[in-house]
Structure 1
């Protein structure tokens, strides 16, 4: 439509100009003594138009000639910028492709354009780090001095330091970053790794909880990190019952019911003589996670001569897990402590019956040893010797 409009305007102008020249009989007279020039108005207008175009052409030519040096310099600048941008793209691609030497060379070429020189320095630092050239990495990082890129420099440096297992240096860098107001999730992940290297388990637990709430850690990884941290902190307090109990109550319900955490806590409480607390820990965890380690630990939670409530609880569990060899073994140990010889013997024998020959070899060895000691206590030496031999053969 636009083309048709301008064609119509052009034709209209041509028709108007033709009519104007056809019916225009005016003259133009120029006096320049002693000369007198007489022209038609149409010719005078044509000469003026021609003179305008000639002057415009001459002035445009002069302007273009005068601007040639500036245009040449601008062209060279654009060419240099284009090559630098291509080098930056090449550096990024080589970095992701694992060609770190090429990435570093391309990053050096990308610095030809000052606007992206410091961005290229960050890429060069990562490439040098991947080649374990820490000195070159630091040289690259020293080139990043722009305040607007300070955060990128600090985050990158912290990540590279923790990757090089310089956890203290990484935490110092993170402290500088946080002093400027940086609280990114990625920074917390880096700090988590650094504290894990330094075995700062309280910080590991805090950061793992925080990242898990923000869905910034895979649930399995978050659970594993929390288990490691809690296990280590429980071990640190294993000789102090009050500190152990205070820390245990500070944990969340899900953390207390985790198998590894509950098993460790029950072991430490039992060793300190707090069997009731250990018993509650195991029973609460088994409501959610039925696990052989917790079942076997339950036998250690009995007070000498007061295991009847636990025997009753174990029998209730047997109604739900009638073929559980670990539960039968635990019940046998509890009955043995109460000197319920017949029930203990039948429980150990059922543990041997339901225990898998290969997967539960250790359980079978322990069951044979328990039966051997039971028969010794009940003065049946031949049966005791037989079970000792069985346990020795399985252990071998």
Structure 2
């Protein structure tokens, strides 16, 4: 199609030239005392040539005038391209773990005029990984806080730096300023806050943050359950010296955690530490009646009071269901020893050692032998207990 157009154009030009060549017209130019007579065809061609020459002269002059601005713009765009390339290099290097390269590339991007607020944050994070904290703080301070996105990155980075240096209060302050800037419900910020509250051992705050993360489906259900259990364990352990507070904590503990052996054991130890054997035995009994746990039953014999008779009955009831539980036999031996039932204590302790020998059982047998005025037997039992304790 283009070839056909060009062909028609050439034929048209040829016809126009042929007609112009036989044109009898002329142009007379008079400038006294001069007279110039020129054929009309030549005059038209000269005017066309003059117009073309003038056009290109003007274009050349304008280009010469605009050249400095063009050169400046070219240099700016070239620097911008280099800066963007340096920023991408910094990102690649940072996520590849080449932190020294990432820092240098981010600094080069800033020097080239790359205005993205990402560069100082990348440089700060890279310097942090290199433990160059002074440079890190300088980069972070240079970040433009006017942009909402850059401000968020800055506070998030600052909180992470504080956490890595085990400064939870400073991290919480950074996250507070992030919330006050209008960023609320930020999942990444919530994860950082969870770490900060864990470092600060603020267990109530941990439970609150975990609830928020769970609502946003931002945490695995198994991890949520583990963190909640740890929080309730620590809340219980933190009140071992405050009886009313411990009782209140235990009553407020969710039912799902009251059924977990680790939580029950922690609560029982806390009550035992306060001398509250009644509550300790009650929560252990409730749990063991619901589901047996060989480790938990060992705590049943930790509180030896004058009510040991009824506790022996309870333990012997369990023994009918779990006759081969070495821990339960050991507990029965300790309870019988406390009640002065020497023969039964001997039988239970020997039965426990026949299943799983333990230094505690041999030590208890040693104390029993001392009660029976058998020093030689007691010495043998204590030796066996020491050998087991030392792993011999």
Q: Shorter chain as normaliser: what TM range?
A: 0.7 to 0.9
Return the offset for 1:307. Answer: 0.9
Q: In structure 2, list runs of 5 or more residues that go unmatched.
A: 31-35
Return the offset for 1:141. Answer: 1.9
CA distance 1:134–1:257, change in 2 (3 Å): same
Deviation sequence 1:97-147 (CA, Å, 0-9, x none): 554444333322211344426432222222333333333322222212331
TM-score, normalised on structure 1?
Answer: 0.77
Q: Corresponding residue for 1:282?
A: 284
Note the 1:165-184 alignment, pairs <5 A: 165-182=166-183, 183-184=185-186
User: Is the Cα contact below 8 Å between 1:80 and 1:112 reproduced in 2?
Assistant: no
Return the offset for 1:286. Answer: 5.3
Q: Corresponding residue for 1:160?
A: 161
Deviation sequence 1:335-391 (CA, Å, 0-9, x none): 545655555433322221221x6xxxxxx1111122333455567666555434432
State the distance in 2 between where 1:324 and 1:10 align.
105
Deviation sequence 1:167-218 (CA, Å, 0-9, x none): 2222222221121233322222322333333333333343345445655456
Return the offset for 1:273. Answer: 5.0
CA distance 1:313–1:60, change in 2 (3 Å): farther
CA distance 1:254–1:94, change in 2 (3 Å): same
State the distance in 2 between where 1:248 and 1:115 align.
58
State the distance in 2 between where 1:52 and 1:217 align.
76
Q: Corresponding residue for 1:86?
A: 85
Return the offset for 1:285. Answer: 5.0
Q: Corresponding residue for 1:123?
A: 122
State the distance in 2 between where 1:80 and 1:125 align.
22
Q: Corresponding residue for 1:314?
A: 318
User: Is the Cα contact below 8 Å between 1:103 and 1:124 reproduced in 2?
Assistant: yes
State the distance in 2 between where 1:365 and 1:136 align.
57
User: Is the Cα contact below 8 Å between 1:257 and 1:284 reproduced in 2?
Assistant: no
CA distance 1:295–1:64, change in 2 (3 Å): same
User: Is the Cα contact below 8 Å between 2:103 and 2:127 reproduced in 1?
Assistant: yes
The 3-state SS of whatever aligns with 1:123 is helix
Q: In structure 1, list runs of 5 or more residues that go unmatched.
A: 358-363
Return the offset for 1:333. Answer: 3.2
Note the 1:28-177 alignment, pairs <5 A: 29=25, 32=28, 56-116=55-115, 118-148=117-147, 149-177=150-178
User: Is the Cα contact below 8 Å between 2:265 and 2:296 reproduced in 1?
Assistant: yes
State the distance in 1 between where 2:282 and 2:48 align.
107
Q: Corresponding residue for 1:361?
A: none
CA distance 1:8–1:130, change in 2 (3 Å): same
Q: Corresponding residue for 1:234?
A: 236
Q: Corresponding residue for 1:366?
A: 360
CA distance 1:286–1:143, change in 2 (3 Å): farther
Q: Corresponding residue for 2:349?
A: 348
The 3-state SS of whatever aligns with 2:365 is helix
CA distance 1:119–1:46, change in 2 (3 Å): same
State the distance in 2 between where 1:252 and 1:9 align.
88
Does the alignment pair 1:305 with 2:309?
Answer: yes
Give me the CA root mean square deviation: 3.9
Give 2:209's match in structure 1, choosing from 197, 207, 210. 207
Q: Corresponding residue for 1:260?
A: 262
User: Is the Cα contact below 8 Å between 2:87 and 2:119 reproduced in 1?
Assistant: yes
User: Is the Cα contact below 8 Å between 1:266 and 1:301 reproduced in 2?
Assistant: no
User: Is the Cα contact below 8 Å between 1:372 and 1:387 reproduced in 2?
Assistant: yes
Return the offset for 1:76. Answer: 0.9
The 3-state SS of whatever aligns with 1:269 is helix
TM-score, normalised on structure 2?
Answer: 0.77
Q: Corresponding residue for 2:33?
A: none
Deviation sequence 1:208-259 (CA, Å, 0-9, x none): 4544565545666655554554333223322333321221232223333344
User: Is the Cα contact below 8 Å between 2:80 and 2:113 reproduced in 1?
Assistant: no
State the distance in 2 between where 1:284 and 1:118 align.
60
